[in-house]
């Protein structure tokens, strides 16, 4: 009975059953490095605001999310009419396809792009065109190839989804390359830049696409409170674009899509820059340390501007994943992304990363992972 476009869809694959695993391991015993969550937890101010908001649970939330939008508008130097809030940015990525794509429309994404884009496009019956990614030996292994993406655009293309930095590769594209790409895009093709990891990016050639908004009515930037801001459980994301684009998106928004606790906590989190700086510094330091430790052990690690690392365990990947699970360490298998030789490892705090490395070292001393010459 399902609509034709939905008939052959696969649901979003969240990886392991974390709730079952948490029950299996003693309280706090599970090292969860599979979902790119912030291991340091939310800003204390966000927690306090959430607790206060609990007293209002009998009320509907502000359907306009006015306070949070105004805070975001100030932070990003845009007008509040240029912002739409979502129940996580996932909701907005789906809504973009609902609003601007459909049967007879082409939607373009990159190979190894975020899985939600394909679901969003296919769910509305659009034709998905997947541009090949950069090769594994490129400077940005398996990253977005902006030329290949531009070449995949047809006159029927209304939507392009890019992620910068990208999940699951961790790679990014340079600000000047993206500006040139955007200049080549037809005006009737919306370019969605998913910046779920923009806060963790500190490379000199990275820049948010937000600065290009005034000159490009066909640009949409999505952000989330789930990653750097550590509010994944509350589900708040947002998109920034020309007010006319936001106005059309608003027509399909569920009236009370962001709950009151989430609105209050997100607004408070925005007001705590010191906390954000600390959490980002900790992530960057641990990211470098963990990447170096993995490379030292012989495992190739992609460059990353995010809070996770894409690691190549090659032929050992299934055994590593299973053996780590038995030791209470959860990674994200990448088979579903067409990367069956890789795992995605969220950058944990120091203790979690030590536990991961200790478990890997235990496996390495197990002869199963090694050939006779000691090479993995
Ligand atoms: C995590 C993630 C999101 C979705 O986050 P929400 O929790 O729905 O806001 C969107 N895009 C990418 C690339 C992500 O990794």
Residue 166 lies in a domain: yes
User: Could you tell me if 289 and 207 lie in one domain?
Assistant: no
Answer yes or no: is the C-beta of 88 below 6 A from any ligand 1 atom. Answer: yes
Round to whole Å and give the CA distance between 178 and 173. Answer: 7
Identify the CATH number of the domain in which residue 211 sits.
Answer: 3.40.640.10
pTM of the predicted protein model? 0.96
User: Could you tell me if 131 and 279 lie in one domain?
Assistant: no
User: Could you tell me if 68 and 23 lie in one domain?
Assistant: no
User: Could you tell me if 114 and 217 lie in one domain?
Assistant: yes
Start-to-end C-alpha separation, the chain: 50
User: Could you tell me if 119 and 170 lie in one domain?
Assistant: yes
**Residue 254 CA to ligand 1 centre (angstroms):** 19
The domain boundary, picked from 240, 272, 304, lies at 272
Compute the C-alpha angle 26/27/32, nearest 5°: 95
Round to whole Å and give the CA distance between 215 and 217. Answer: 7
Give the residue numbers spanning the domain of 91. Answer: 44-272
User: Could you tell me if 150 and 93 lie in one domain?
Assistant: yes
Q: What is the mean pLDDT of residues 333-358?
A: 97
Round to whole Å and give the CA distance between 128 and 256. Answer: 30
Residue 376 lies in a domain: no
Round to whole Å and give the CA distance between 134 and 132. Answer: 7
Element spanning 344, H or E: strand 342-346
Look up residue 150 and give its two tokens. Answer: 């531009």
Q: What is the pLDDT of residue 374?
A: 45
**pLDDT confidence tier of residue 368, bands split at 50, 70 and 90:** low
User: Could you tell me if 118 and 228 lie in one domain?
Assistant: yes
The domain boundary, picked from 272, 293, 312, lies at 272
Residue 236 lies in a domain: yes
Q: Which residue has the higher pLDDT, 117 or 24?
A: 117
Residue 245 lies in a domain: yes
The predicted-structure confidence for 59-102, as pLDDT tens digits, reads as follows 999 999 999 999 999 999 999 999 999 999 999 999 999 999 99
CB-based contact 167:34 (threshold 8 Å)? no
Round to whole Å and give the CA distance between 102 and 366. Answer: 52
Look up residue 339 and give its two tokens. Answer: 């990367």
Residue 282 lies in a domain: yes
Torsion of CA 70, 71, 72, 73, to 10 degrees: 50
Answer yes or no: is the C-beta of 167 below 6 A from any ligand 1 atom. Answer: yes
The predicted-structure confidence for 251-302, as pLDDT tens digits, reads as follows 999 999 999 999 999 999 999 999 999 999 999 999 999 999 999 999 999 9
CB-based contact 321:331 (threshold 8 Å)? yes
If one counts the domains in the chain, the total is 2
**Residue 169 CA to ligand 1 centre (angstroms):** 14
Element spanning 332, H or E: strand 332-333
To test the ligand 1 pocket, which listed residue (114, 195, 223, 259) has its Cβ within 8 A of the most ligand atoms?
114
User: Could you tell me if 215 and 259 lie in one domain?
Assistant: yes
Look up tokens 């939008």; give the residue: 69
Atom number in ligand 1 closest to CA 224: 9
Mean pLDDT of the chain: 95
Q: What is the pLDDT of residue 369?
A: 64
Answer yes or no: is the C-beta of 171 below 6 A from any ligand 1 atom. Answer: no
The domain boundary, picked from 272, 304, 326, lies at 272
Task: Tell me what percent of the chain is helix, strand and coil, each rounded to the nearest 5.
Answer: 45, 15, 40
Helices (H), the chain: 4-7, 18-24, 44-53, 66-76, 89-100, 115-123, 146-151, 175-184, 243-250, 260-270, 273-296, 317-326, 350-364
User: Could you tell me if 14 and 84 lie in one domain?
Assistant: no
Answer yes or no: is the C-beta of 114 below 6 A from any ligand 1 atom. Answer: yes
Has residue 8 got a pLDDT over 90?
Answer: no
Atom number in ligand 1 closest to CA 306: 15
Q: What is the mean pLDDT of residues 219-230?
A: 98
Q: What is the pLDDT of residue 132?
A: 98
**Residue 91 CA to ligand 1 centre (angstroms):** 9
User: Could you tell me if 224 and 338 lie in one domain?
Assistant: no
Q: DSSP letters along 267-328, please?
A: HHHHT-HHHHHHHHHHHHHHHHHHHHHHHHTT--B---SSSEEEEE-GGGHHHHHHHHHHTT
User: Could you tell me if 266 and 329 lie in one domain?
Assistant: no
Q: What is the pLDDT of residue 372?
A: 41
Identify the CATH number of the domain in which residue 23 sits.
Answer: 3.90.1150.10
**Residue 40 CA to ligand 1 centre (angstroms):** 18
Has residue 38 got a pLDDT over 90?
Answer: yes
Answer yes or no: is the C-beta of 196 below 6 A from any ligand 1 atom. Answer: yes
Please list, in sequence order, all residues whose beta carbon lies within 8 angstroms of the beta carbon of residue 250, skipping any fewer than 6 positions away. Answer: 84
Name the DSSP class of 27.
T
Look up residue 159 and give its two tokens. Answer: 């939507």
Q: Which residue has the higher pLDDT, 17 or 59?
A: 59
Residue 254 lies in a domain: yes
Q: What is the mean pLDDT of residues 26-42?
A: 92
Taking CA atoms only, the protein residue closest to ligand 1 atom 11 is 196
Residue 374 lies in a domain: no
**pLDDT confidence tier of residue 157, bands split at 50, 70 and 90:** very high
User: Could you tell me if 257 and 183 lie in one domain?
Assistant: yes
Residue 372 lies in a domain: no
**pLDDT confidence tier of residue 39, bands split at 50, 70 and 90:** very high
Atom number in ligand 1 closest to CA 225: 9
To test the ligand 1 pocket, which listed residue (35, 89, 221) has its Cβ within 8 A of the most ligand atoms?
89
Name the DSSP class of 334.
-
Q: What is the pLDDT of residue 370?
A: 54
């Amino acid at each position: 009975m399902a609509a034709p476009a939905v008939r052959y869809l696969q649901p979003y694959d969240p990886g392991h059953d974390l709730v079952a695993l948490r029950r299996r391991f003693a309280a706090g015993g599970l090292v969860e490095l599979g979902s790119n969550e912030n291991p340091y937890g939310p800003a204390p101010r966000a927690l306090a605001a959430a607790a206060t908001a609990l007293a209002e649970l009998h009320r509907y939330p502000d359907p306009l999310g006015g306070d949070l939008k105004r805070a975001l508008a100030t932070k990003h130097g845009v007008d509040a009419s240029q912002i739409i809030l979502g129940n996580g940015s996932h909701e907005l990525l789906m809504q973009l396809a609902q609003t601007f794509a459909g049967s007879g429309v082409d939607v373009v994404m990159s190979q190894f792009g975020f899985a939600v884009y394909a679901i969003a496009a296919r769910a509305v019956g659009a034709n998905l065109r997947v541009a090949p990614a950069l090769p594994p030996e490129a400077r940005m292994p398996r990253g977005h190839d902006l030329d290949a993406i531009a070449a995949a655009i047809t006159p029927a293309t209304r939507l392009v989804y890019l992620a910068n930095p990208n999940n699951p590769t961790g790679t990014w594209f340079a600000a000047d390359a993206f500006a040139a790409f955007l200049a080549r895009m037809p005006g009737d093709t919306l370019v969605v830049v998913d910046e779920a990891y923009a806060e963790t990016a500190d490379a000199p050639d990275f820049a948010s696409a937000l600065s290009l908004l005034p000159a490009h009515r066909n640009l949409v930037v999505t952000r989330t409170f789930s990653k750097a801001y550590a509010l994944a459980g509350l589900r708040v994301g947002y998109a920034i674009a020309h007010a006319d684009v936001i106005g059309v998106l608003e027509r399909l928004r569920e009236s009370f899509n962001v709950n009151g606790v989430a609105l209050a906590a997100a607004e408070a989190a925005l007001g705590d820059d010191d906390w954000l700086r600390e959490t980002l510094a900790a992530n960057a330091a641990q990211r470098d340390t963990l990447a170096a430790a993995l490379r030292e052990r012989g495992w190739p690690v992609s460059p990353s501007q995010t809070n996770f690392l894409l690691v190549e365990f090659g032929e050992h990947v299934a055994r590593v994943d299973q053996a780590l699970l038995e030791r209470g360490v959860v990674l994200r298998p990448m088979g579903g992304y067409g990367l069956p030789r890789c795992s995605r490892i969220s950058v944990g705090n120091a203790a979690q990363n030590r536990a991961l490395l200790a478990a890997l070292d235990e496996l390495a001393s197990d002869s199963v992972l090694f050939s006779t010459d000691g090479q993995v």
